[in-house]
Amino acid sequence: MSKQITIPFGPQHPVLPEPLHLDLVLEDEKVVDVIPTIGYVHRGLEKLVEKREYTEYVFIAERICGICSFIHSQTYVQGIEQIMGLEIPERAQYLRTIWSEYSRLHSHLLWLGCFADSMGFESVFMNAWRLREHILDDLEATTGGRVIQGVCKVGGVRRDIAPEKLDEMVKGLKGIEHELQDLTNVFLHDSSIQHRLKGIGVLSNDDAYYLGAVGPTARGSGVAIDIRETGYAAFGKINFKPVVEYDGDCYARCAVRAKEMFTSIDIIEQCAKKIPDGPVDMKVTGAPDGEYLSRAEQPRGEVIHYIKGNGKKNLVRHRVRTPTFTNIPPLVTLLKGCELADVPVIVLTIDPCIGCAER
């Protein structure tokens, strides 16, 4: 047996925009064990429910992450509405669905750019981020915010989208769809990308399921978990199928994300056709008394907001289980047995969001 050495990976590393530390135990160039460490930037945001009223806390829930911010606020208010027995207007449900799919597009394009950049594929990076600007422009035009939208509230949403604007958004998305197709074709069919990703970092179907993998990390291994299928917001009225790949390797996880962008465009188009007229919010009185585990599908997978109230303005508990947090154990398994040079690529294929994990 070769002598074992331990190499620290992160918290500062060129491929890591946020601090994650891995102690990689190596035998020659092979990783034989991994000890992950987070906690460098833990903010304790959950604790703030004790100081902020449940209606104000939406703004804090949204700031858990700077990428899937909208879906955090959506999941939080859904939980509150469920406890309080509120049936919010249908138009608000559709608007939430549209904005959450815009968030997914913006997140996946951000990831595609960062991932391509980490491999030295600069043209894909530039084009992915150029297309992402279009998504952010639409988010800004309809909500007032590019990153933090502040549009979700208990009882509905704060803004409506005019029918003409919705048509314009769908036309805009159709306009970038073929560019996106070209971009993902280049990325997924490039021989050097395939050589770098295929057969690397394989997560079996059983491991993905029982280790708690969610989102593209699970679906890349054939585990068809997509919380949108539970029908929250307007997803129950939309036809879509989760994108699933079966090889379980780095390429499969990338392919899931690339294909999901087209599903998101299709969902937005369906929403624009089906959205009913009507109010976008309702009056809310009282305070939540009860508990609920509210779930939604973020770009990185299932997010859970556990909410517990006792009928007072301040909640007793708000606990967030983010997708990256539950994707850490699968990451440990993915890395065992890989080559040291493959570690950055494998880490990036789970699209870690430490900001979320360190809520």
Partner 1 sequence: MMEPQQITPISVGDIVTKAEQAKKDGNRLVQIGCTKIGDDFEILYVYDKDYKLTNYRVTVKQEDEIPSISGVYFGAFVYENEIHDLYGIHVKGINIDFKGTFYKTAIKHPFSVTIVKEDDACQNK
**DSSP character at residue 220:** T
Q: What is the DSSP string of 204-215?
A: -HHHHHHTT--T
- Are residues 118 and 128 in contact, defined by beta-carbon separation less than 8 angstroms? no
User: What is the number of other CB atoms lying within 10 angstroms of the CB of residue 82?
Assistant: 17
**The pair of three-digit structure tokens given for residue 332, joined into one six-digit string:** 């440990």
Q: Is there binding between residue 72 and partner 1 (CB under 8 A)?
A: no
Residue from 119, 308, 346, 356 binding partner 1 (CB under 8 A): 308
Q: Is there binding between residue 60 and partner 1 (CB under 8 A)?
A: no
Select from 40-48, 90-98, 109-117, 197-205 the region that touches partner 1 (CB under 8 A).
40-48
d(CA 104, CA 170): 16
Q: Which is nearer to partner 1, 33 or 168 (CB)?
A: 33
Q: Is there binding between residue 288 and partner 1 (CB under 8 A)?
A: no
Residue from 8, 27, 51, 279 binding partner 1 (CB under 8 A): 51
Least separation, in Å, of the C-beta of 143 and partner 1? 24
Q: Is there binding between residue 32 and partner 1 (CB under 8 A)?
A: no
Q: Which is nearer to partner 1, 328 or 338 (CB)?
A: 328
- Are residues 25 and 6 in contact, defined by beta-carbon separation less than 8 angstroms? yes
Of residues 190-219, which lie at the interface with partner 1 (CB under 8 A)?
Answer: 209-212
d(CA 198, CA 94): 38
**DSSP character at residue 228:** G
Q: Which is nearer to partner 1, 10 or 212 (CB)?
A: 212
Residue from 55, 82, 118, 205 binding partner 1 (CB under 8 A): 82
Select from 44-52, 133-141, 167-175, 247-255 the region that touches partner 1 (CB under 8 A).
44-52
Least separation, in Å, of the C-beta of 310 and partner 1? 9
Residue from 12, 44, 164, 191 binding partner 1 (CB under 8 A): 44
d(CA 147, CA 119): 26
Q: Which is nearer to partner 1, 37 or 118 (CB)?
A: 37
**The pair of three-digit structure tokens given for residue 338, joined into one six-digit string:** 């890989």
d(CA 85, CA 309): 13
Residue from 94, 187, 251, 292 binding partner 1 (CB under 8 A): 292
User: What is the number of other CB atoms lying within 10 angstroms of the CB of residue 175?
Assistant: 10
d(CA 298, CA 320): 13
**Burial status of residue 344 (CB atoms within 10 A of its CB: 0-12, 13-18, 19 or more):** middle
Q: Which is nearer to partner 1, 252 or 328 (CB)?
A: 328
- Cα 63 to Cα 43, 222, 232, 253: the distances in Å are 11, 32, 22, 27
Least separation, in Å, of the C-beta of 51 and partner 1? 6
Residue from 27, 293, 311, 337 binding partner 1 (CB under 8 A): 293
Residue from 22, 24, 31, 38 binding partner 1 (CB under 8 A): 38
Q: What is the DSSP string of 344-358?
A: HHHHHHT---HHHHT
Least separation, in Å, of the C-beta of 256 and partner 1? 18
Residue from 13, 165, 196, 317 binding partner 1 (CB under 8 A): 317
Through-space distance between the first and last CA atoms of the chain, rounded to whole angstroms: 41
Residue from 165, 240, 306, 340 binding partner 1 (CB under 8 A): 306
- H helices of 85-204, where? 90-118, 122-143, 163-189, 191-197
Q: Which is nearer to partner 1, 201 or 323 (CB)?
A: 323
Q: Under 8 Å CB-to-CB from 359, ≥6 apart: which residues?
A: 43, 45, 46, 64, 65, 320, 322
Q: Is there binding between residue 46 and partner 1 (CB under 8 A)?
A: yes
| Residues binding partner 1 (CB under 8 A) | 35, 37-40, 42, 44, 46-47, 50-51, 78, 82, 85, 87, 209-212, 227, 229-230, 232, 291-294, 302, 304, 306, 308, 314, 316-317, 319, 321, 325-326, 328-330, 333
